[in-house]
Chains A and B, each alone.
Chain A
Amino acid sequence: MLLRRFTSGVARVAFFLLLVDLLLFAIFDLLPDAAVRQLGIMAIDHQLLEATRERLGVDGPAYERFATFWWHLMQGNLGRSLQGGYPISDVLVGHTTVTVALLVPVVTILLVIPIPLASFWIRPGEVAVNKAKRLLVLPVYLGLIPQFLVAVILFAIWSGLLADYLSGTSLAATTRWTLAVLSVVSMPFTLLFLAAVETFQSANRQRFTTTYRMLGMSRFQVRCRLMRNGWLALRPLAARLTLTCATGIIFTELLFGFNGLGRLLVNALRASDLNLMRVLILIMSLVVLTTSEFERRHT
């Protein structure tokens, strides 16, 4: 049963990934300007264009090129970069580590803080809680600013104010890394927090807590149960949050100078390296689709 569910999930993700790649292939390979963008000045000379396309494995009819790409992909061959001709898998290895190192604290923060904070937020009446709410309201709502603007503002703070002041100290790298994590986490944190507050408030309106208390549960047990329910109700947000984190990573790595997958994507965009862009976007899409499949399974 478990194996069947797993297999059907994998098949569904693979099917959607194929559709995503079909769309990317249509944009990168079939649009009129694609050949020129792929090969630049070489596209002017027809013979040179054909020879280069053959060398890079982008020759032949469209369906053949698409099928060949997937055949190679299934064998673990991600193809070659159009700028430089090096294997894409070699480039990815070094850059993935940097992105994962940035994503680990982001995911940890998202898993650990917003939902307990929301559960604390909806506690009525107590003076200390109200004071804390007043202090927290501004930082929480600042997360609604578009993610790339948050990255720009934090980078300006780093570059304009802190970089000189901290240069040469051990704090410099830590501060830069902390600001980068903050810039990725800001919007997903706020979205998750606001959704959790909404979920808890509606749970409170339905008098779950009263029923739990009447069944003899302690205050702590009720809170744990509410948080579990909150997690279950918030699963549909997972794919959206993953996409938000992925786009946040692009801006953060570009600005803060981390040499990860996000920066690689921007470099590929600026160098018109469409093969590399296609693989990077497919990886991102795979992560989003897998998360979305996971949430679909549990809702």
Chain B
Amino acid sequence: MTPRPLLYACVGILFVLVMGGVLMHPPSADAIRASEPPSLEVWLGTSPYGHNMLPLLSYALGATAAQSLWAAVLTLGISCALGAVAAMTAGRWPDRVISTVSRVLDSLGVLILGICILAVIPSLDHWTLGALLSLIAWPSMSTVIRTEMLSVLQTDYAEAARAIGVGRFRLFRVHVLPAIWPRLQFLFFGVFTGFIAVLAAISFLGAGSASEPTIGSLLYDSLSYLRTAPWFFVECLTALALLLILAVSTSPLLLGPDRR
């Protein structure tokens, strides 16, 4: 089991990164200092464009983490709402419509649809892009929620609640939501990590605004400088890997050992 202090450190770093992504501005470049290797003065060296790598990576990682967190929260909300509607109306037309839309979105995937949106509107800001991606990413989570909710709705206590006239909303809030909450938390961290990977992959392919540095675009650029500035590639790759590990590692802490 991972030691608790380490997990707290993971959450702390993730929190600082997210806040940095929200509050920081993209660092400026100093062309005279381009491609400087790591030293005591510039700890992580400089990029071939002259950025100091430490603030550059902090900004890019923070922006990706904040955007992913925002998209994951929205996806959780949309999935809960649509999953609840689908479960409550199982077999009827709302359920069928949700299932049809879900199949259409599933056949394309978040990455491809994200690329399509950014191909048309490349200058989307982080928050709008996160919101649009959450409109695409709900199907897999919503299907799981529907299944979980259907099994809860078939339990004796849910039947009894319905028999004494408890309304749908109250039934969902008081009985269903607490029963599926641990599962939702797992799904949330899965989606959060997934969004980090998808956002990095989208910018890696060159979709979106070229003016702002993102971890994906930095990683793609770094491949051109593998020989002249290898630290640029190693640092970008390590930073993204660390962010993914951080996102995966925080879930056991927040969920607690008894709920894993």
Contacts and interface: CB of A to CB of B under 8 A. Distances in A.
Interface of A: 16, 19-20, 23-24, 27-28, 31, 33-34, 37, 146, 148-149, 152-153, 155-156, 159-160, 239, 243, 247, 250-251, 254-255, 266, 269-270, 272, 274, 277, 281, 284-285, 288-289, 292
> What secondary structure prevails in chain B residues at the interface with A?
helix
A277 B119 contact: yes
Interface in B221-254: 223, 226-227, 230, 233, 237, 240-241, 244
Contacts of B115: 269
Given A152-B237, A156-B226, A269-B119, A19 B112 contact: no
Contact-residue size bin, chain B (C-beta under 8 Å from the other chain): 20 to 34
15 contacts: A16-B103, A16-B104, A16-B107, A37-B120, A153-B237, A156-B237, A159-B226, A239-B106, A243-B109, A247-B111, A251-B205, A281-B112, A284-B112, A289-B107, A292-B106
Contact of B223 (A19, A33, A155, A250): A155
Contacts of A146: 197, 200-201, 244
A152 B107 CA distance: 25
Given A152-B223, A160-B230, A28 B116 contact: yes
Nearest to B248: A144
A284 B116 CA distance: 13
B122 to A, nearest CB: 8
Nearest to B104: A19
B233 to A, nearest CB: 6
Interface of B: 100, 103-109, 111-113, 115-117, 119-121, 197, 200-201, 204-207, 219, 223, 226-227, 230, 233, 237, 240-241, 244
A289 B223 CA distance: 35
Contacts of A31: 120-121
B227 A269 contact: no
B112 to A, nearest CB: 6
Nearest to A15: B100
Contacts of A160: 226-227, 230
Contacts of B119: 28, 37, 269, 272, 274, 277
B129 to A, nearest CB: 14
A28 B112 contact: no
A151 B150 CA distance: 40
A274 B116 CA distance: 8
Contact of A148 (B104, B107, B204, B206): B204
Contact of B237 (A28, A33, A149): A149
A251 B201 contact: yes
Nearest to B116: A27
Residue picked from B111, B115, B119, B223, most chain A C-beta under 10 Å: B119
Nearest to B106: A239
Contacts of A239: 106-107
Contacts of B201: 146, 148, 247, 251
A240 to B, nearest CB: 8
B117 A149 contact: no
A19 B112 CA distance: 16
A149 B108 CA distance: 20
